[in-house]
Amino acid sequence: MTVTASSAPATAPSEPPPPRWVGAVDGVVAGLVTVGLGTLLAAVFSVIGQAGGQPAPIAAVSGAFIDRTPPWLKDFAVGAFGTNDKRALLVGTVIALTVICAVIGLVVRRRMPLGLVLFSLVGVVGMAAVLSRPGAAVTDVVPTLLGTIAGLWFLRRGVGMDALRRSGDAASLHAESPTRRWVLGGGLGIVAAWFGNFLTGDSAAATASRDAAIDTAPPPSNVVTVPAGADLKIPGVAPFIVPNADFYRIDTAIVVPRVDATTWTLKVTGMVEKEIEIDWATLQSKPMQEAMITLMCVSNEVGGDLTGNAIWTGWPVRELLKLAGPKPGADMVLSQSVDGFTAGTPIEALTDDRNSLIAIRMNGQPLPFEHGFPARIVVPGLYGYVSATKWVSELTVTTFADAQGYWTPRGWSPMGPVKTESRIDVPSSGATVKAGKVAVAGVAWAQHRGISKVEVQVDTGPWEPARLAVDATIDAWRQWVYEWNATSGSHDIRVRAYDSTGQVQSPLEAPPAPDGATGIHTVTVRVN
């Protein structure tokens, strides 16, 4: 709409009030502004790893809706839309929101305060939906909150501009036309939403597929429980089972891949009798095993915390390989991720009787996106860089002579068995403690061999045995505690562990590269 400024008199005759539908369009565009900004900010939050990494408002509302859908409605939706039921739900949410926003826009024209309150209420519903998602943090509402504020501002401004245009004041000549604000507001909203989705990939579909997996898993064929006494529950010592939210994360992904499980597949290729490809539904229908396995990063320094123990649920890799039939001569399986990362694992470790898993759950939950949803490999006894491929998409049966994992040409050993090590968690180095009884405690690990003994040395004293927590499995770490009679002064405390073969950990100081750090963890404490 062009304003013919040159011919307009100084006091223009007031324009007629804009037609009603202008308010409805304003409402819809305000909704676009809110959703666009909310989507973009949620994407930025999730990319920079802030807050709980919750989905943008629309996906959150759809997800919250799924969780609260009665079974009959779920069945109806799956019957009517098949595997497109999630997409149908997203489309339905958008349509419903459009209608609601149009109505609110009409109300704003008649009774502005009421309209703005209604619009805020829609924002509150969005924020509640975000908060109700598994693992949500309070700060996850910020994108939707800011988006709602921007939408409210847009609505008010539209009414103000139209009033100004009608006023006949000199300033009315510069008042923005409805078309202009719709193009600007709507355009920016769409671009923001598009860019947000681009940042996180097809995040909404991925989130919906992960949400759908929360309570659809069949029970595993074996259930692993933490034996009483495996966790000494000493304050400051890493918990025996590390909660998913606290689990260390290592990968080469700048943006965490958000894979839509419904379109994901896992292929077996290379030196096999028959190439195989399984999809999500097939994988989920397999008999699942549970296993307690401590994952460990080769980059961990002596005393470092790039390690964690979890209960993993998955289908044994050996069962999948059996279906493909590896050819004689193959000695490595190169597992590949959707983001191109690869790990070279000795085929032996994937086919022997240890529970090497295509894991789909971590501590009873679908894998968090950061830890490889929908599926990852977990191998007891090997460092992560040669085994634990997240977002796994292909297993190529090959040989160490023909293929290399991601880290091997970058200076790391092709083979990565975990070394026996131990760590003091309390007291921490530099701490000041009171003289008398002090619990010196921590963890020790020798995955797939097991820990048989841990000893502690104070200053130049003898190595004294620590008390070991109950052994859960040779594949998991083991807590230990040593009751120290602390005397005043400064003291060095050291720890060393033995694996089940009786071999003590290496006391030689070695850096992480090329195949794992060794040395004795030592803390220095002051006693008053």
Ligand X SMILES: Nc1nc2c(c(=O)[nH]1)N[C@H]1C(S)=C(S)[C@@H](COP(=O)(O)O)O[C@H]1N2
Residue numbers of the site for ligand X (CB under 6 A)?
Answer: 247-252, 295, 297, 337, 339, 341, 371, 384-385, 388-391
Token code pair at residue 440? 């010196």
Give the Å distances, CA to CA, from 409 to 112, 297, 405.
Answer: 65, 18, 8
- Cα(309)–Cα(176) distance, rounded to whole angstroms? 60
CB of 390 to ligand X, least distance (A): 4
> Which one of Mo ion, ligand X, none interacts with residue 280, CB within 5 to 8 A by kind?
none
Q: Between residues 38 and 372, which has the closer beta carbon with respect to Mo ion?
A: 372
> Which one of Mo ion, ligand X, none interacts with residue 477, CB within 5 to 8 A by kind?
none
Give the E-state strand segments of 53-120 in sequence order.
none
CB of 380 to Mo ion, least distance (A): 15
Q: Between residues 40 and 295, which has the closer beta carbon with respect to ligand X?
A: 295
CB of 447 to ligand X, least distance (A): 13
DSSP reduced 3-state for 401: coil
Are 43 and 56 in contact by the 8 Å Cβ rule? The answer is yes
DSSP state of 55: P
Of 357-386, which residues contact Mo ion (CB under 5 A)? 384-385
Helix segments in 111-202, DSSP class H: 112-131, 142-167, 178-200
Are 204 and 60 in contact by the 8 Å Cβ rule? The answer is no
- Cα(161)–Cα(178) distance, rounded to whole angstroms? 8
Token code pair at residue 214? 């929360």
Residue 238 phi, psi dihedral angles, 5° rounding: -50, 135
CB of 308 to ligand X, least distance (A): 6
- Cα(216)–Cα(228) distance, rounded to whole angstroms? 29
CB of 257 to ligand X, least distance (A): 8
Q: Between residues 331 and 339, which has the closer beta carbon with respect to ligand X?
A: 339
Q: Between residues 359 and 495, which has the closer beta carbon with respect to ligand X?
A: 359
Q: Between residues 34 and 342, which has the closer beta carbon with respect to ligand X?
A: 342
Query: Whats the size of the chain, residue-wise?
Result: 528
Omega before 514 within 30 of 0, i.e. cis = yes
CB of 378 to Mo ion, least distance (A): 13
CB of 341 to ligand X, least distance (A): 3
DSSP reduced 3-state for 87: helix
Close Cβ partners of 89 (under 8 Å, ≥ 6 residues apart): 62, 65, 66, 77, 208
> Which one of Mo ion, ligand X, none interacts with residue 14, CB within 5 to 8 A by kind?
none
Q: Between residues 38 and 303, which has the closer beta carbon with respect to Mo ion?
A: 303
Q: Between residues 31 and 344, which has the closer beta carbon with respect to ligand X?
A: 344
Token code pair at residue 62? 């759809």
Rg (CA), the chain: 30
Of 223-252, which residues contact Mo ion (CB under 5 A)? 250
> Which one of Mo ion, ligand X, none interacts with residue 240, CB within 5 to 8 A by kind?
none
Token code pair at residue 220? 């595993």
Of 283-322, which residues contact Mo ion (CB under 5 A)? 297
> Which one of Mo ion, ligand X, none interacts with residue 210, CB within 5 to 8 A by kind?
none
Are 404 and 387 in contact by the 8 Å Cβ rule? The answer is no
CB of 299 to Mo ion, least distance (A): 5
Are 224 and 292 in contact by the 8 Å Cβ rule? The answer is yes
> Which one of Mo ion, ligand X, none interacts with residue 248, CB within 5 to 8 A by kind?
ligand X
Which residue of the chain is nearest ligand X when measured via CB? 384
> Which one of Mo ion, ligand X, none interacts with residue 367, CB within 5 to 8 A by kind?
none
DSSP reduced 3-state for 526: strand
Which residue of the chain is nearest Mo ion when measured via CB? 297
CB of 336 to ligand X, least distance (A): 8
> Which one of ligand X, Mo ion, none interacts with residue 172, CB within 5 to 8 A by kind?
none
Contact residues: Mo ion, CB under 5 A: 250, 297, 384-385
